[in-house]
């Protein structure tokens, strides 16, 4: 078995959100699950995606391209999930578990949807870790098996809190990585160092590649505090037609 290394990327900002990324990688599976983030007209949006099927690399590419395109013009996070589910619905046994997140630039709250994927983890400023309590829908591509709609959950965050998205082999382990107990031991005032140390710890726990994305919202003090938006409920009659 090839050794796994923890690799971190330089800190960056996506809109009003600080982004810290780290991966545990080894060829040839490093590109078969991934987290991505984009600054859209509706706020910062992110996805953690884990494809299942014969050609996982190609499937992952389709899902990420679809997400990045839809994020720029689809008004709701649930709408993005429905559209991606629609173009995967004829793929037979291929599907993708995903967690979708959106931040409003004027708020610290985050909107989360879980599509058969492990939910994000709230990393508190004091080092505590709390998995988001969100209802789990079916993975993208399988929603027709249980007609319904994707329900977003609002996660309140305090200054200094962040959301940790992760995807890859660590989500499918028989004994999942214990984020609530391990994160406090690795906590650091430097988010970049924390993410790098967490990736190394995850690599020691699992021999499968994992992508980690820590998102820390930093709302501008010049933006007014707006009421929480009412996300429309999309029922079975929803259509992507303009």
DSSP string, 64-96: HHHHHHHTTT-S-HHHHHHHHHHHHTTSTT-EE
Q: How confident is the model at residue 228 (pLDDT cuts 50, 70, 90)?
A: very low
What does DSSP say about strands 110-115 and 136-137: parallel, antiparallel, or unpaired? parallel
CA–CA distance, 196 with 7 (Å, rounded to integer): 7
List beta partners, residue 20. 214
Judged against a pLDDT cut of 60, whether residue 7 lies above it is answered with no
41 backbone dihedrals φ, ψ, rounded to 5°: -65, -15
Which segment of 47-61, 115-129, 167-181 scores lowest on mean pLDDT? 167-181
Residue 220 banded pLDDT, cuts 50, 70, 90: low
Beta-strand relationship, 121-123 and 110-115: unpaired
In which band, very low, low, confident or very high, does the pLDDT at 240 lie, cut at 50, 70 and 90? very low
Which tens digit of pLDDT belongs to each residue from 42-87? 999 999 999 888 888 889 999 999 999 999 999 999 999 999 999 8
Q: Which of 68-82, 85-99, 117-131 has the highest mean pLDDT?
A: 68-82
- Distance separating alpha carbons of residues 34 and 22, to the nearest angstrom: 11
Average pLDDT along the chain: 80
Tell me how far apart the alpha carbons of residues 93 and 26 are, in angstroms, rounded to a whole number: 26
Q: By the 8 A CB rule, do 150 and 234 touch?
A: yes
- Sequence-distant (6+) residues with CB within 8 A of 92 are none
Least confident range of 24-33, 150-159, 192-201, 218-227: 218-227
CB 150 within 8 A of CB 78: yes
Residues paired with 122 in a beta bridge:
130, 163
Instruction: In whole angstroms, give the CA distance from residue 37 to residue 17.
Output: 10
Rg (CA), the chain: 17
The full set of domains in the chain, from first to last, is 5-217 (3.60.40.10)
Distance in angstroms (rounded) separating the CA atoms of residues 173 and 70? 31
pTM (2 decimals)?
0.82
Query: Residue 213 burial by CB count (10 A; 0-12/13-18/19+): exposed, middle or buried?
Result: buried
């Amino acid at each position: 078995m090839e050794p796994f290394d923890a690799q971190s990327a330089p800190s960056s900002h996506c809109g009003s959100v600080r982004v810290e990324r780290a991966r545990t990688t080894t060829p040839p599976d490093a590109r078969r699950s991934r987290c991505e983030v984009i600054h859209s007209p509706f706020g910062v949006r992110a996805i953690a995606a884990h494809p299942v099927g014969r050609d996982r690399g190609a499937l992952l590419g389709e899902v990420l391209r679809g997400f990045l395109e839809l994020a720029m013009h689809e008004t709701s996070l649930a709408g993005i999930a429905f559209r991606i589910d629609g173009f995967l619905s004829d793929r037979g046994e291929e599907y993708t578990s995903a967690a979708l997140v959106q931040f409003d630039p004027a708020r610290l709250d985050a909107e989360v949807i879980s599509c058969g994927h492990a939910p994000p983890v709230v990393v508190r400023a004091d080092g505590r870790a709390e998995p988001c309590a969100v209802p789990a829908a079916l993975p993208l591509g399988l929603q027709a098996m249980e007609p319904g709609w994707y329900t977003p959950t609002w996660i309140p965050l305090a200054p200094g809190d962040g959301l940790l998205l992760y995807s890859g082999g660590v989500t499918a382990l028989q004994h999942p990585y214990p984020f609530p107990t391990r994160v406090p031991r690795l906590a650091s005032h430097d988010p970049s160092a924390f993410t790098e140390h967490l990736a190394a710890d995850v690599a020691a726990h699992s021999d499968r590649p994992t992508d980690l994305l820590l998102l820390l919202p930093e709302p501008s003090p010049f933006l007014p505090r707006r009421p929480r938006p009412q996300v429309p409920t999309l029922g079975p009659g929803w259509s992507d037609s303009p």
